[in-house]
Amino acid sequence: MIDRVAYNPQELMVVNAARLLREHDVVFVGVGIPNLACNLAMRTHAPNLQMIYEAGVIGAQPSRLPLSIGDPSLVTGSLSVCSMYDVFTLYLQRGNVDVGFLGGAQIDQYGNINATVIGDYQHPKVRLPGSGGSMEIAAWANRCYIITPHQRRRFPARVDFHTSIGFLSGGDARRKTGVRGGGPQAVVTNLGLLQPDQDGELILTALHPGVTFDQVQENTGWQLKQSPDWKRTEPPSQEELRILREDLDPQRIYI
């Protein structure tokens, strides 16, 4: 209990997402929490991580925290800028992307994501933004990570609409579609980590400090399994929090 540092749910998610990234990963990234996770990883264990922004910017060195996916600060001083068609073909479709980040209104038992509609597609109860880049990122990045707050309405057993796929109905359903990527490898929430088992079903593999399995189950819309090898995550370190708060998001826009 000595040196215990207070942190908020956003910081907890950023830190745990950053820890999943590896040295030399090529990451396809938008703005917000995934962007912070990549920058944190680069300043800790993965200095040679490479970021590709969906807007077509490679090797960005933004002088400020970008607030939109096409922020002008991403371009100034970057290594390369390419068209939208090029970023989706030469980089993503070609297989040059290791990691994609995804989010959405609903994530189901098999890691499928809905970012399109709640209710019927033709007569939507709630019309959400739709795919953007996520349909292809989910299919073609080698590994995908999902970062989202853990709330029951966000974790139904089945999504209303498959905007982008995880493991579909489980088993070899994803493999049968012939998509090249490995699918979601982890869902990072403010309560812990869910990861696919051999059948593609999301199971609890880690709990954050102080969180119980029952808390996670209460916030999940299916009978959640707990991995026999489940772990307790390390709390964010002072250094991780310092980098986030002082260097990456000093105005606390995302954290």
Partner 1 sequence: MSKLVSLKDAVSTLVHEGDVLYASGFTHLIPFAVGHEIIRQGIKNLVLARATPDLIYDQMVAAGCARKVIFSYMGNPGVGSLRRVRAAIEAGELAWEEYSHFSMISRLQAGASGLPFMPMKQTGAPDLVRNNPNYQHVTDPYKGEEVVVVPPLKPDVAVVHVQRADAEGNAQVWGIIGEQRLAAFAAQRVILTAEEIVDEAVIRSDPNRTLIPALVVDAVCHVPYCAHPSYTQGYHDRDNAFYLAWDQISKSEEGVGAYLQEWVYDLPDRHAYWEKLGSEVHQRLHAGERWSDPVNYGEY
Q: Which residues contribute to the site for partner 1 (CB under 8 A)?
A: 31-32, 54-57, 67-72, 74-77, 81-85, 88, 92-93, 116, 121-127, 129-136, 138-140, 161-165, 168, 174, 177-180
Q: Which is nearer to partner 1, 117 or 243 (CB)?
A: 117
| Burial of 40: CB neighbours in 10 Å, binned 0-12, 13-18, 19+ | buried
- DSSP secondary structure letter of residue 156: B
Contacts of 58 (CB under 8 A, 6+ apart): 50, 51, 52, 78, 79, 80, 81, 82, 91
Q: Which is nearer to partner 1, 2 or 85 (CB)?
A: 85
Q: Which is nearer to partner 1, 177 or 212 (CB)?
A: 177
- What Cα–Cα distance (Å) separates residue 240 from each residue in 18, 29, 63? 10, 20, 20
**Active-site residue, selected from the candidate residues 11, 23, 54, 239:** 54
Q: How far apart are alpha carbons 113 and 236 in whole angstroms?
A: 28
Closest distance of CB 60 from partner 1, Å: 11
Place of tokens 């980040």: 101
Decide if 54 is catalytic. Answer: yes
Closest distance of CB 25 from partner 1, Å: 21
Q: Which is nearer to partner 1, 15 or 113 (CB)?
A: 113
- DSSP string for residues in 214-231: HHHHHT-BS---EEEEEE
Closest distance of CB 249 from partner 1, Å: 14
Q: Which is nearer to partner 1, 5 or 84 (CB)?
A: 84
Closest distance of CB 31 from partner 1, Å: 6
- What Cα–Cα distance (Å) separates residue 69 from each residue in 1, 84, 132, 167, 240? 40, 12, 11, 28, 24
Which residues on neighbouring strands pair with residue 184, listed in sequence order? 144
Nearest to 130 by CA among 151, 118, 115, 146: 115
Task: Return the axis-axis angle of helices 9-20 and 33-43, rounded to nearest 10°.
Answer: 60
Closest distance of CB 162 from partner 1, Å: 5
Residues marked active site are found at 54
